[in-house]
Every structure is written in C-alpha cells, then in structure tokens.
Amino acid sequence: MYVRVRVPATSANLGPGFDVAGLAVTLYNTFTFELLDEGLQILGCPEQFANKDNMTYQAFDEAAKEVGLDYKGVRIITSGDVPYTRGLGSSSTCIVAGIVAAYAFKDRYEDRQDILELATKIEGHPDNVAPAIFGGMTVSVMEDHKVTTLSLPIKNDYRFVALIPPFTLSTAKARAVLPNTLERADAIKNVSHLALMVASLINGYDQGLKLGFKDRLHQPYRGKLIKNYFPIMDVLEKDDKILGAYLSGAGPTIMAMIKAEDDKGVVRIKEELGELIEGWKVEKLELDT
C-alpha cells in the first residue's frame, strides 16, 4: 500500500503579513510513501538529502509517532517543480507531505487542525504550511501551541508573476538580518498595511494593493540581500497594470500581481525589467484553491 501526496508551493507574508499571511499557487511537489519491512529509501532528490535528516522523512517520522503508526521502513519518492530555497515554500511541501502521509496511513488525513499544528511546530511559523494544507489565502495566529487559521476568499481573478532568481537565499539568513525591535511608528504602519492588503484582496479593491503590500518589518532589510531588488521594485511600482508586488516568503523570489485578463502582463514585465532579471525564471501562476 502506498500514499501519494501533492502539495502546492506557497507565497508567504504578502508584504506586511510577516509569519501570518500566505497563499497557495499552482506549482506542486509530489511525494509517494510506501511502507517497507525495513530501511529508509529516499529517491528523486539530490543525494545529500537522501538520508535520515531528510525533512520529509523527519516530518513523517514525527507524525508517525504522534498518530501511533508503527512502521519498520519507508520508501519516499519525491518529484516536482517547486524550486528549493527561493521563497516559494519548498520546505513546507516536504513537511506537510510527511505529516499528511503518516496521518493517511492511519486514515486520519482529514484531521487538518492536528496536521497544521504539527507542521507549524516543525516549520516554526504557520504562514507557508497553512495555505499548503488548506489552499487559497490564509491568515494564521499562533498562541502558545495553538494555531488559529482562517481561509479567506480572494474576490478577483489574479495571476501571480513569480520572478525567480538563479541564486538562493536561506530563510535563516533572511531572518538573521531583521531587527529584534520595531519603532512604534513602523509597527503601526505594518498593522495598517496588513489590514489594507487583506481587506483589498477580500473586497476586490485593486487600488489598495500597491500600498497594502508595503511593509516596514522585513522587506526593506531583506531587499539588501537580493541583487537588483530595489530597482526591480521601482519598475514594478511604476507599471499601472501591475496591482502590487512583494517579496515572496523570505525571498529571493519577487511576486508581482496582475489581473487575469492582463494577458500581455508577463511579456510586458520581462521587457520592462530587461537586464535587471537576466538569468531569472519568470512563471505565471494562479491561486491554488
């Protein structure tokens, strides 16, 4: 018997919603789990990740203990399109897949709240794992070990243009540059932008998005780690058809939002950015619901 889990990529923070807001997009990783009589086999990923420290295996093993799945060995086959360490939630796909698989072997794959809480414990924050589990856009609040997640409807039909650089940025490095304290004025700014961003997406108030995606908590600091980040954001800001842009998760991917009917959007963005994104991959994605 085997279990196959397909998990979407996610774009976290959405500007001001640091560690809180995220959404799932149409890029996927797929994981197949098969219980064995003994041993651990991990196939389909680079050799340095094919051992017991593998994130998918670690999550599977922890979830197996939680649900009382007494297994002797497991084979995990991974495949998919979510790029590693680019701010599109590749680690969350591994964590969520490992947990869902262990729950599925015990017929508990619908226990999403338990899956969410274990995934959040392993990842450290819920903003990638929540949309990976529930789909769509989510906002999550952590209080002690309890995670409260709301799935929110996005009113208009948008496309998400992911500008994916050829270089990586680890979440640890991108978190290390953030200040430990925030001025009250900056905190107020962040709260107000988060409220505007969420309200604009729910109500289809497109004019609110450019302002809504701004923040004072992480993007100004992380931008310095990403080649051409500030000039790219300036170009995107000036294009009236771009509804808004933000750093996806911890970066380095930059996400630009356009309307579904803007079918020339990707070509226009590539032309406008030209050499600034030389060597970058540009993917037009939809919301995964």
Q: Catalytic residues, which ones?
A: 117, 171
Only segment of 42-50, 67-75, 123-131, 209-217 that touches ligand HSE (CB under 6 A)? 123-131
Closest CA to 16 of 103, 127, 180, 156: 127
Among 3, 5, 11, 13, binds ligand HSE (CB under 6 A): 13
Q: What is the DSSP letter of 53?
A: T
Confirm if 165 and 227 have CB atoms less than 8 A apart: yes
Q: Write each residue from 192 to 231 as x if it is in contact with ligand HSE (CB under 6 A), else as -, in one continuous string.
A: --------------------------x-------------
Instruction: Considering the complex, state which of residue 165 and residue 249 has its C-beta at the smaller distance from ligand HSE.
Output: 249
- Binding track, positions 170-189, relative to ligand HSE; x by CB under 6 A: -x--xx--------------
Contact between 96 and ligand HSE by CB under 6 A: the answer reads no
19 binds ligand HSE (CB under 6 A): yes
Contact yes or no for 126/104 (Cβ under 8 A): no
User: Which x/- pattern, by CB under 6 A, does the window 246-265 give for ligand HSE?
Assistant: ---xx---------------
Q: How far is the CB of 20 from ligand HSE (least distance, A)?
A: 8
| Binding-site member from 86, 125, 159, 210 for ligand HSE (CB under 6 A) | 125
Using a 10 angstrom Cβ sphere, with 0-12 exposed, 13-18 middle and 19 or more buried, the burial of residue 244 is buried
Answer for the pair 241, 268: CB distance below 8 angstroms, yes or no: yes
Whole-angstrom distance, CA of residue 266 vs CA of residue 160: 10
Question: From the list 3, 12, 139, 142, which residue makes contact with ligand HSE (rule: CB under 6 A)?
Answer: 12
Part in contact with ligand HSE (CB under 6 A); list of ranges 13-21, 104-112, 184-192, 201-209: 13-21
Contact window for ligand HSE (CB under 6 A) among 112-120, 125-133, 138-146, 281-289:
125-133
Task: Give the C-alpha separation, 128 to 5, whole Å.
Answer: 17
Number of C-beta neighbours around residue 65 at 10 A: 11
For residues 269 and 250, give the distance between their C-alpha atoms in angstroms, rounded to a whole number: 22
CB of 11 to ligand HSE, least distance (A): 9
Give yes or no for a contact between 229 and 250, defined as CB atoms under 8 angstroms apart: no
Task: Say which amino acid occupies 193.
Answer: H
Count of CB atoms within 10 A of residue 41's CB? 13
| Residue number with CB closer to ligand HSE (125 or 193) | 125
Measured CA to CA, the distance from residue 7 to residue 285 in angstroms comes to 15
Q: In whole angstroms, how close is the CB of 76 to ligand HSE at the nearest point? A: 22
Name the residues that contact ligand HSE, by CB under 6 A: 12-13, 18-19, 125, 127-128, 171, 174-175, 218, 249-250
